[in-house]
Structure 1
């Protein structure tokens, strides 16, 4: 029996077990928000002895399917319209807490379905993450079965949690971004504390990353090449995120005397000490390569029946030899950049958010200075909440973006009996001197839990790009079903 069949059998057994144990629950054990983050409504309690940690633990299961259809308005030798699907799920286990300690594990599985003859693997777009392209081209395997989470947590200090191991790390610069089949995870130690009144602090040391379409961990900021791995398509076995700096190759880092496995150190800070004012700050550094800092202010003005919240964000990027090694652009090019070998850069963004009843309107603007691209390839997006739309990377140098977004029926519980609807229009004013092009992007998304089966949730996401680049107009359609048990 191969690994895929064993894993499917294991998941099916867990479904039967969980359905029996929790059949009478009125409230779902855990739910899924529109941003793909899980809400654990029921968790194990504290126990008085070590063995009860295991006996009183809880399982959380998930079955999911995800189908991607990408249609180019005009196909050519490098652009194929295609469909690809993924089928899989996850099984999480949380132990009970004993003397401040508990542990969490997460097994994930994904099986891809596509026709290599009509949809070559190197031309797949969003759906590429439902399997490992590296494994497929080297072994022919279209499945992934991975230990996505495995960490120990200690909660012995007041309002403080320390986690050690492979985990989801949700900060401004790092996200699980679980939009495909397996989340983005890190091998890390993370400290989060709310010991200070009205303040949340998170400090993380991330030694390794495992992107969504990988089965092995890899460096946080190294683009693999033939000198890193001798197998086919070596770049797909390192950090090959769409926003990865492709000039920071294994060979280039080695030649510069830099560590190809440098860690990512992240700091997050949120404070609400002043009424109606939310202060966010974040910082990351990859030692001897690159650092970045962010400050954001949002102030809510409450009026009769509705509220208005103006916000502003500023980002400063500090180069520490990464620009000299890889160049000012994250795609590895230097054409059109004022200083082609510096990654010093800045971004400003502003927005105004209005809420009324079940509706929220967000009008945002962002501008990246004409210096260098912003480098954040850990699924945290610098323009998120301002001018970020599905699959759009608009933090290249000398880029201005404008977005209007309307949402309806948002909530924090993750159960959308009333359909959640999100619609936005994004205009990106790019720098043609750098080989970029202006674009209008139209997005429409739906999320709903079935009324008679609230643990079953469907999602439909549609994005259409209307560009000034020849033959670049396209439709990106994604349909997903999640069953949580």
Structure 2
């Protein structure tokens, strides 16, 4: 079975630059040009917020999309990427690679105002990558380059508010997403139905979506495999994932929930609520709460038949002041195993550049400060610290992570569409040997103005 990006968060997720304090995003294939949002955001790269799932970011985007006409409105997207990652691990081993690649994609307008189709090809080729330093996920295993047709899909308009999609496509929800934090994103084989109702001129908005996800192409792979195999089930067992969710937003308040069910594998339930409170012309206070629950299902194929359960809750408070954003967050994981996220980045508020802070029994605090420079359009910086506690499992230790991110997305002039990003993380592990980890990433992405 084929399917497409659980358009259940369709056409909204950013490509690699997500998560900068400036939320400056290089567009994914299908987007016309990079977005430079003046409002800071603390969404981490690779995460997919629930309130941006199930539909484009706004009602106006949805309307523009549905009114595109066949060949005349076909959108082409070409993106070039180069990415260096070097990591010194806790055990003193290293991962290092430098890759060059990108994507070429298109999406037609709607034939007879009902049907459109699209496709995207991706490639990542080695510029540098010692065989003994594998594991960056920039290249295929063995430090090999790869090329893959990651998206081939059709999209049907049931009506102006509802879309059915079939094929292979990227998708973005909290636990099934592109996780586009390397050279190429996850893409999926699936079928989905999603809708956006209301939301015009400040009216309440309801986003809904559901579908069946059959296979996944991991970020550094050129093959689609079953969702169960990707989650760790033995060979020969093929299970997909059924998902259904919704998000309601009115004014500065939103709340939503989504469930993922994979027979004999896992059931994941996730819910999140957000509220923002303007305190002045340039001052806003924002709050968010999240909860994840994970349970084994049926034969529990990924754990040899052993039942498991895990859960994590978290809270986040943010103060936006002009171009600055100050964030504090807390998460707590419990159950009888670590939280899992085999098909996406982890959506927890304390999940950052390297660590997710979601091990069984682990509590974590985050402090973060970011700023978008008004004097240099598109330039943003942030730094953060996460303090994690000792998890339950013996032989595992508390960790502190320190991250620094600098990003510049050029929005005007001859270099419009060029994004440069520098990320550095240091993790201090509280084990008897004082182990630590260092992670350096340098990214340059270029999206030519529309073709």
Describe the SS at the equivalent of 2:159. Answer: coil
Query: Could you say which residue in structure 2 is the equivalent of 1:289?
Result: 265
Distance across 2 between alignment mates of 1:157 and 1:35: 33
CA RMSD of aligned residues (A): 2.9
Distance across 2 between alignment mates of 1:358 and 1:300: 16
* Equivalent position to 2:153, from 147, 151, 154: 151
**Cα drift, residue 323 of structure 1:** 4.8
Describe the SS at the equivalent of 2:416. Answer: strand
1:24-74 CA-partner distances (Å, limit 9, x unpaired) = xxxx93216784799999979643xxxxx3465232111110011223587
Q: 1:247-286 counterparts in 2 under 5 A?
A: 248-250=233-235, 260-273=237-250, 275-286=251-262
Distance across 2 between alignment mates of 1:263 and 1:479: 35
Compared CA separation, residues 327 and 301, structure 1 to 2 (3 A): farther
Describe the SS at the equivalent of 2:393. Answer: helix
Query: Could you say which residue in structure 1 is the equivalent of 2:325?
Result: 360
Query: Could you say which residue in structure 1 is the equivalent of 2:116?
Result: 102
306-315 or 31-40, which moves further after superposition?
A: 31-40
Distance across 1 between alignment mates of 2:98 and 2:372: 28
Distance across 1 between alignment mates of 2:353 and 2:207: 28
**Does structure 2 retain, via aligned residues, the 8 Å contact 1:208–1:218?**
yes
Compared CA separation, residues 272 and 346, structure 1 to 2 (3 A): same
1:131 aligns with 2:146: no
Query: Could you say which residue in structure 2 is the equivalent of 1:388?
Result: 351
Q: 1:59-458 counterparts in 2 under 5 A?
A: 59-72=76-89, 75=92, 79-80=93-94, 82-99=95-112, 100-116=114-130, 119-120=131-132, 123-125=133-135, 127=136, 129-133=137-141, 136=142, 142-195=144-197, 197-222=204-229, 239=230, 244=231, 246=232, 248-250=233-235, 260-273=237-250, 275-304=251-280, 305-321=282-298, 323=300, 326=303, 341-383=306-348, 386-409=349-372, 417-431=377-391, 433-450=393-410, 452=413, 453-458=415-420
Query: Could you say which residue in structure 2 is the equivalent of 1:337?
Result: none
- Number of aligned pairs? 388
Larger Rg: 1
Describe the SS at the equivalent of 2:423. Answer: strand
Greater relative contact order (Cα 8 A, min sep 6): structure 1 or 2?
A: 2
Q: What TM-score do you get using the length of structure 2 for normalisation?
A: 0.79
Describe the SS at the equivalent of 1:130. Answer: coil
**Does structure 1 retain, via aligned residues, the 8 Å contact 2:330–2:363?**
yes
1:350-377 CA-partner distances (Å, limit 9, x unpaired) = 1211111111112111111143222221
**5+ residue gaps in structure 2?**
1-30, 37-43, 49-55, 199-203
Compared CA separation, residues 373 and 89, structure 1 to 2 (3 A): same
1:464 aligns with 2:429: no
Q: What TM-score do you get using the length of structure 1 for normalisation?
A: 0.73
Distance across 1 between alignment mates of 2:308 and 2:359: 11
Higher helix share: 1
Higher strand share: 2
Distance across 1 between alignment mates of 2:301 and 2:110: 49
Compared CA separation, residues 205 and 380, structure 1 to 2 (3 A): farther
Describe the SS at the equivalent of 1:360. Answer: strand
**5+ residue gaps in structure 1?**
1-27, 48-52, 223-238, 255-259, 329-340
Distance across 2 between alignment mates of 1:202 and 1:271: 12
**Cα drift, residue 113 of structure 1:** 3.0
**Cα drift, residue 164 of structure 1:** 0.7
Distance across 2 between alignment mates of 1:171 and 1:192: 12
